[in-house]
Structures are given as C-alpha cells and as structure tokens.
Amino acid sequence: MSETNVYNVQGSYRLRIPFSFDCKTDGCTETIQTVTDGRQPVCPQCARTYDPEKAIIELADQFPDEDEVEDGELYSWADHDSCSGVWFERGAATITIWGKGKGGISGVKTIEEAEEFVQELADELGAEITEDIEYNNMTMKWNLDGKVALRDAFMLLDYDEMQYEPEQFPAISCKDKVTGSHIFIYSTGCVVVVDIVEPEVGEEIFNRVKKDVEEYELYIEL
C-alpha cells in the first residue's frame, strides 16, 4: 500500500565490478585487469599504478552512447576531465558508480524499480552487489481528502521551520518534528514529503499531517 505513494527514490550501495583497461604508458600495451574493491590498479608489465576513480570511467566505453540508443534504452557516459564516476542512464533512471565500487541510484519511482535496475546492471557488468541498497532520500506524495485552507493551516499547525509565502511558493513548507523530514502541504490537498528513509516512515508522517488537518478543521468546504 505505501509503495504506491513513493514517486522518487534515491539510494546507495556497493558493487564489486571486475573490469579491464589498457595501460597508457608509452610503449606498454598491457591490459590491466582490476576490480572495484578499493585497491589501486597496477600494470603487471610496467608497474604503473592507476587511480581507481579514473580507471572506472573506462567502463562507460563498454556501453552505447546516448545518441546510439532509442529513448528508454540503456546508455552510459563519463566525464573524462573530471573523472567523477561513470553514469548509466535509462529513461529518467540514473545509476552512478565510483572507482571504489560505491554506487548511487536516482530518478526511479519505486523501490522495486531501483532494485531491478541495480541488479540488471550488476548482471550486465558481471558484478556482485556487496552492500544492498540503502535508501537515503525518498520522496513520497499523497492526497488529503479535500482542499486545505493554507493560511489557517500556517497559523494553527505546529511543525518545525514553518514557511508560507504564497506569492513565492504555493505550499506550506515545514519539517516533521519527529524525523526532520521536509513536508510540503499544497492547497489542493497534495502532501509531499522528502528525505524519507523508509516508506513506512513516510506513511507515519503523512498520517500525522492528515490527523492535524482533520483536528484543526482545515479542509475547505467544496
């Protein structure tokens, strides 16, 4: 039941990815086999060492570029100048992997979708998931039973860091006192909560908001 209200999931995990790349030392043509376990890749021929954060971007070359795929198909890219991870994208879903195997996922709508995409990519890379996904910034959304009188709500509700500036933003912005999660209450009755670690926690926050809206009689008669 709670899963249906999740509409943006972010998480991090760890992958042990085996991969290889060519030594770039003059005269050395050795292929270096490595794995994202935090160790520094070393060329067995010339003994040159590589920064794992730079070596990882070679993974992007194993996958098509954005202009080589249809919408919704998997592609990969890396910024060879900044060397800050390798990106795998499919539709709105994005996976980023750093040189020591730390991975991130964002832009997915459900936990199932996150787990499927990470598993699929791990299979594709011949990688092992060594730390399961830990969700750190989930966004959830619900609808209250009617429209809300925001000006009254702003005066009556007791949340942390309450803000309501209708000419700038059409919602009350505040923080849940228990979890510190950020809550947005719109006049349409839409409630959005960000910074959630588990859907169950989001449900608890929403239920507190709903109870308050009912108790303070903040629904606008339609």
Report the C-alpha gap between 35 and 127 in whole angstroms.
9
* 162 belongs to the binding site for Zn ion (CB under 5 A): no
Report the C-alpha gap between 111 and 124 in whole angstroms.
20
What is the closest distance, in whole angstroms, from the C-beta atom of residue 44 to Zn ion in the complex?
8
Q: Note whether 143 and 209 are within 8 A (CB).
A: no
Q: Note whether 88 and 78 are within 8 A (CB).
A: no
Q: How far is CA 94 from the centre of its chain?
A: 8
Separation in Å, CA 158 to CA 108, 192, 193: 32, 17, 16
What is the closest distance, in whole angstroms, from the C-beta atom of residue 13 to Zn ion in the complex?
32
Instruction: Considering the complex, state which of residue 43 and residue 129 has its C-beta at the smaller distance from Zn ion.
Output: 43
Binding mask 187-206 for Zn ion (x = CB under 5 A): --------------------
**Residues between 3 and 62 that touch Zn ion (CB under 5 A):** 23, 25, 28, 30, 43, 45-46
What is the closest distance, in whole angstroms, from the C-beta atom of residue 16 to Zn ion in the complex?
24
Residue ranges binding Zn ion (CB under 5 A): 23, 25, 28, 30, 43, 45-46
